[in-house]
Amino acid sequence: MIDFRPWYDALIKPPWTPEAGTISLIWTILYPIIAISFGFVFYKVFKKKIPKKVALPFIINLAANLAFTPIFFGLKNIPLATVDILIVWVTILWAMKVISKYYRWVALAQIPYLIWVSTATLLQLSIALLN
């Protein structure tokens, strides 16, 4: 495993940057919500209960979410990671909009995810501007 800590610690970050343990805890809470709600959407698409196009923002979001860590911490590419997190943020909003007319609970389940990614996006934009 590559130790990204020295690189990350050397970055200029805003004073409100959450501690690593807090970030880990938040994702530990969010990933089951994401897995259940996204899995439900994919299952409903598979069963032809909702159109395939409804799953598109969920697929893009999942890919962008999973790509962030390798881009930011692996490649240490701050500009690309910033674009990536903006994609995550936009696709959460898009997903909430398209699923709400079929399963409102899935849209509502994304609220904690949206709040956290909004915070993470502001953090990433700050890091991009400061470095």
Digit-coded pLDDT (tens) for 74-121:
999 999 999 999 999 999 999 999 999 999 999 999 999 999 999 999
| All residues at 6 or more sequence positions from 36 whose CB lies less than 8 Å from its CB, including other chains | 109
Residues 6+ apart with CB under 8 A from 95: 41, 57, 58, 61, 107, 110
32 neighbors 101 (Cβ within 8 angstroms): no
Question: In angstroms, rounded to a whole number, what is the distance separating the alpha carbons of residues 60 and 55?
Answer: 9
Taking alpha carbons only, the member of 3, 116, 19, 101 closest to residue 53 is 101
Nearest to 64 by CA among 46, 43, 83: 83
Name the percent of the chain lying above pLDDT 70.
98
Q: Which pTM was predicted?
A: 0.94
Q: Up-side HSE of residue 70: CA atoms within 13 Å toward CB?
A: 5
- The pLDDT tens digits for 91-103 are 999 999 999 999 9
What are the domain boundaries of the chain? 39-130
Per DSSP, 53 falls in state G
